[in-house]
Amino acid sequence: MLDFNFRPTASVVICSYTEQRWELLMDVIDSVHAQTLQPDQVIVVVDHNEDLYKRLVAAVQDVTLVESTGLQGLSGARNTGVGLATSEIVAFLDDDAVAAPDWLEKLTALYDDSDVLAVGGKVEPAWEGGRPGYFASELDWIVGCSHRGMPKVASEVRNVIGANMSFRLQVLQQVGGFNLSLGRQGTKPLGCEETEMCIRAAVGSPGSRIVYEPAALVHHHVPVQRGTFRYMLERSWSEGMSKAQVSHIVGHKRALGPERRYVRRVLPRAVFSALSAWARGADSDGLRRAGATVAVLAATVAGYLRGRRVAQGSGSLLSGSGSTPVPLSGPPWREAS
């Protein structure tokens, strides 16, 4: 149901864990302050790095700066930020994802529909050393970005992308926050916490919608090392492991529907297009790109199969953390252990 008088308030949460991204983090904060729709809060959460926190205290103004009170990792840091949020909408940015000037305006505009639980935007890669010729745009999910094959106009989706997403605060509180057994922990490239969050939110609110709005744009920095073939395979394996964990929690049908369509439709077109361009002599990287695409699929499937065995044996891929978040009544947020 549309409410044309709706003017949402918004809090923006940025989580950071390393000083190595200092300049990028400064650019992200500046991009939030330059928004056409100013947020009511800008919350920067430091994930268990005292040196980074002290440096930010001395350098940054006009933000709410806090150290994560949760378990180490992205999910715990995000839950800390949500616990401080007071606005109707909570938007999340990675510490290396610079927002376009109208990002927040575009992101929040769709909440005039009361059935919308979450809205995510387009994440465009900003390649530090240029896109490698063997790295197909259909594989940009490997570097946390929107990939070819995703909707070009605002559309209902299963889940949003972690580097550029927003939720109603009430939804985050009702479902208990981000699952602490999922999400990146330091350099461990596990993920899918936003996928599991969106699935839980939708299951708890029949008839609701989660929307992808490509007009809400951020530019995600991609360092050279994340464009290597080795990283592609490592990240694909980890994605498979993460998807197995999500499947273990919410069920295979809910967890893998879009992935099945992606494998049946998007990847075959990518391989065929690359091989065709190489055969015509129009693209010397076509053969390598097709080979890398097939290798990524194989690594992802292998990781998923391995993850299923681990999840069935222990109930969690990450020892020492629970597989299901605890419903929360409000800040301070309690966390699963």
H/E segment holding residue 89: strand 89-94
Pair 186, 244: CB distance under 8 Å:
no
Q: What does each C-alpha distance from 42 to 81, 139, 177 come to in angstroms?
A: 10, 31, 19
pLDDT confidence of residue 68: 94
pLDDT confidence of residue 243: 81
Lowest-confidence segment of 2-16, 209-223, 234-248, 323-337 by average pLDDT: 323-337
What is the overall mean pLDDT for the chain?
Answer: 86
What is the pLDDT confidence band of residue 250, given thresholds at 50, 70 and 90? low
Q: Per-residue pLDDT for 335 more than 60?
A: no
The CATH number of residue 55's host domain is 3.90.550.10
Q: Is residue 218 part of a domain?
A: yes
Q: Tell me the C-alpha distance between 5 and 94, whole Å.
A: 30
Q: Tell me the C-alpha distance between 199 and 252, whole Å.
A: 12
Q: Span 181-208, mean pLDDT? A: 73
Q: Is residue 259 part of a domain?
A: no
The alpha-carbon radius of gyration of the chain (Å, integer) is 19
Q: What is the pTM of this model?
A: 0.86
Q: Is residue 322 part of a domain?
A: no
Six-digit token string for 171: 């939804």
Q: Is residue 235 part of a domain?
A: no
Q: Is residue 270 part of a domain?
A: no
48-53-22-12 Cα dihedral, nearest 10 degrees: 80
Q: Tell me the C-alpha distance between 280 and 283, whole Å.
A: 8
Q: Total domain count for the chain?
A: 1
H/E segment holding residue 12: strand 10-16
Q: Per-residue pLDDT for 316 more than 50?
A: no
Query: Which has more pLDDT, 296 or 313?
Result: 296
Q: Per-residue pLDDT for 279 more than 50?
A: yes
Q: What is the DSSP string of 188-214?
A: B----HHHHHHHHHHHHSTT-EEEEEE
Q: Is residue 17 part of a domain?
A: yes
Which DSSP category does 327 fall into?
P
Q: What does each C-alpha distance from 314 to 125, 178, 318 come to in angstroms?
A: 36, 20, 9
pLDDT confidence of residue 215: 98
Q: Is residue 3 part of a domain?
A: no
Lowest-confidence segment of 51-65, 116-130, 197-211, 219-233 by average pLDDT: 197-211
Tens-digit pLDDT profile for residues 89-145: 999 999 999 999 999 999 999 999 999 999 999 999 999 999 999 999 999 999 999
Tens-digit pLDDT profile for residues 6-65: 678 999 999 999 999 999 999 999 999 999 999 999 999 999 999 999 999 999 989 999
Q: Span 69-81, mean pLDDT? A: 91
Q: Which SS3 state, helix, strand or coil, does residue 262 take?
A: helix
Q: Is residue 253 part of a domain?
A: no
Q: Span 282-299, mean pLDDT? A: 96
pLDDT confidence of residue 330: 31
Q: Tell me the C-alpha distance between 179 and 177, whole Å.
A: 6
What lies within 8 Å, CB to CB, of 303 at 6+ separation is 236, 237, 238, 239, 240, 241, 243, 244
What lies within 8 Å, CB to CB, of 102 at 6+ separation is 35, 36, 37, 215, 216
Pair 13, 83: CB distance under 8 Å:
no
Residue-number span of the structural domain to which 208 is assigned? 10-225
Q: Is-cis flag, bond preceding 101, omega within 30? A: no
What is the pLDDT confidence band of residue 157, given thresholds at 50, 70 and 90? very high
Tell me how far the alpha carbon of residue 228 is from its chain's centroid. 21
Which DSSP category does 274 fall into?
H
Q: What does each C-alpha distance from 37 to 109, 237, 243, 252, 262 come to in angstroms?
A: 10, 39, 35, 39, 34
